[in-house]
Amino acid sequence: MRFGFVFLAAALWAQSPKQLHPTVEKVAAAVSTERIAATLQKLESFGTRDIHSTQIHEATAWIEQEFKSMSPRLQVTLDKHLAKKRGRMMRDVEVTNVVAVLPGKTQPAVHVLITAHYDSVVLVRKPAVGNAPAAIDNAASAAAPKAPGVSDDASGVAAVMELARVMSQHEFDKTVVFIAFSGEEYGLLGALGYATAAKKAGMKIEAVLNNDIIGNDDNGQGLKVSNVVRVFSEDPADSPSRAIARYVRDTGERYIPGMKVDAVFRNDRFGRGGDHTAFNNNGYPGVRLTTVAEDLKKQHSPDDTFANASPSYCAQVARVNGAALASLALAPAPPMVTRDVTRTEAETGYSVQPNLARGKESVDAVLKWKMGTEPDLAGYAVVVRSTTSPFWERETYVGKVSEFTLKNLSIDDAVIGVKAIDKDGVESIVSAYVLPKRNFAPVN
């Protein structure tokens, strides 16, 4: 009963201020629908961007040159990986990711990524035999002269490139990385190569916003949705990627009030995949942004064209991305809450006491975290939700402290987290306290 009272008594909770940062506002406002439309048309003009084609090399060169022309502050490289023949691939192929890096000024070792794939494919099927589904003709698919791939996924690339143009005119605390991946249609080839190499190098990636199929708002079967974008994130309920999904929802809807961010608590659509999964599988938190009105009949066909796309919808999704990405790049580091029980106190800096515990009165909850060192850190906000609620329900701004007691709140019945806030009101991703894995029998 005490727990229920806490959630009903909203007036008892102080709310942290929700400010709009001028740089984030400028980023979102500067996104050009016309430039996005031009990028969609240019990528369509290559005819096909299948990894077996020669045209994909032309597309690679064009994206590279466009990145280089945007700002001298962008560090543009080609990230190449040899992909061995497998699955639908007809031969070994060198896939090339086009990477543009905007170095951060105060937290340069921390990277936030926005990604999409520029390769395309048309799936040509063999004649059906009996009642069996028609099989894919791999050779015919690889040789198809027309695979425009405008919504899948020139649209995501257009958003990535437009935000690279806009954001490269500003400075950010963290390093922002804009990537056009290749080989997604044949098994996330470019993303796997990049993510695997990043993990091996010890690269710190705080978030990956992957945009795949954000170019149409009409599914061709009567569903037209122009003001909603889906964000997919992997389980469990408080995974790092789930925290990013909540962050995109919060910042996207705050800065782009005409858009609704629908957080779908699933790694991806049924039986489908995207480049964010390559990062999740390497221990990096990533999410996928995609349209609600997905036109499955036009995907992977010659009909995925600019004529069937919506540049205005793509631009709106790009603005949502821009709000989240710029906020992440300006935000202080997320607080460290959950202890890593596999490491020693000397390695982590944590005491042996748990960071979430019962208070002296046992009905209170005490949350502790490791305080950040950023000079512009203003303080922290503690957030709470019931264990069955998808989103944070209450928050209280607690100031520049490393511990807070929540009165009359049982730690058994709630999820509790904390976020850092800088002096401009920019908020970090929420760090929720999650129970560490236990390698011994629990005490009843």
For the ranges 4-13, 37-46, 413-422, the lowest mean pLDDT is seen at: 4-13
Global pTM exceeds 0.95:
no
Q: How far apart are CA 435 and CA 340, in angstroms?
A: 10
DSSP code string of 140-172: HHHH-S-B--IIIIIHHHHHHHHHHHHHTTS--
What six digits make up the tokens of 238? 């408080």
What six digits make up the tokens of 105? 């000024």
**Confidence grade of residue 350 (pLDDT, cut at 50, 70, 90):** very low
Mean pLDDT of the chain: 91
The residues of the chain that CATH labels 2.60.40.10 are 2-17+333-432
Closest CA to 349 of 360, 337, 358: 337
pLDDT number for residue 338:
67
The total of other beta-carbon atoms located within 10 Å of residue 391's CB is 11
* Residue 206 near residue 112 (C-beta atoms within 8 A): yes
301-332 pLDDT, tens digit each? 999 999 999 999 999 999 999 999 999 999 99
144-156 pLDDT, tens digit each? 999 999 999 999 9
223-277 pLDDT, tens digit each? 999 999 999 999 999 999 999 999 999 999 999 999 999 999 999 998 888 999 9
Per DSSP, the chain holds a count of helices (H) and strands (E) of 11, 15
354-397 pLDDT, tens digit each? 689 888 877 899 999 998 999 999 999 999 999 999 999 999 99
* Residue 315 near residue 255 (C-beta atoms within 8 A): no
How many percent of the chain have pLDDT more than 70? 91
78-112 pLDDT, tens digit each? 999 999 999 999 999 999 999 999 999 999 999 99
Closest CA to 216 of 123, 115, 316: 316
pLDDT number for residue 437:
67
The residues of the chain that CATH labels 3.40.630.10 are 31-330
53-71 pLDDT, tens digit each? 999 999 999 999 999 999 9
**Confidence grade of residue 133 (pLDDT, cut at 50, 70, 90):** confident
- Residue given tokens 């890096």 in the structure block: 101
Please check the confidence at residue 14 and state whether its pLDDT lies above 80.
no
Question: What average pLDDT score do residues 194-222 get?
Answer: 97
The CATH fold assigned to 31-330 is Aminopeptidase (3.40.630)
17-33 pLDDT, tens digit each? 478 999 999 999 999 99
Please check the confidence at residue 125 and state whether its pLDDT lies above 90.
yes
Please check the confidence at residue 41 and state whether its pLDDT lies above 90.
yes
**Confidence grade of residue 1 (pLDDT, cut at 50, 70, 90):** very low
pLDDT number for residue 263:
97
What six digits make up the tokens of 274? 């995207």
SS3 per residue for 349-416: CCCCCCCEEECCCCCCEEEECECCCCCCEEEEEEEEEECCCCCCCEEEEEECCCEEEECCCCCCCEEE
Q: Which of 12-26, 276-290, 428-442 has the highest mean pLDDT?
A: 276-290
Question: What average pLDDT score do residues 137-141 get?
Answer: 96
The CATH fold assigned to 2-17+333-432 is Immunoglobulin-like (2.60.40)
* Residue 384 near residue 394 (C-beta atoms within 8 A): yes
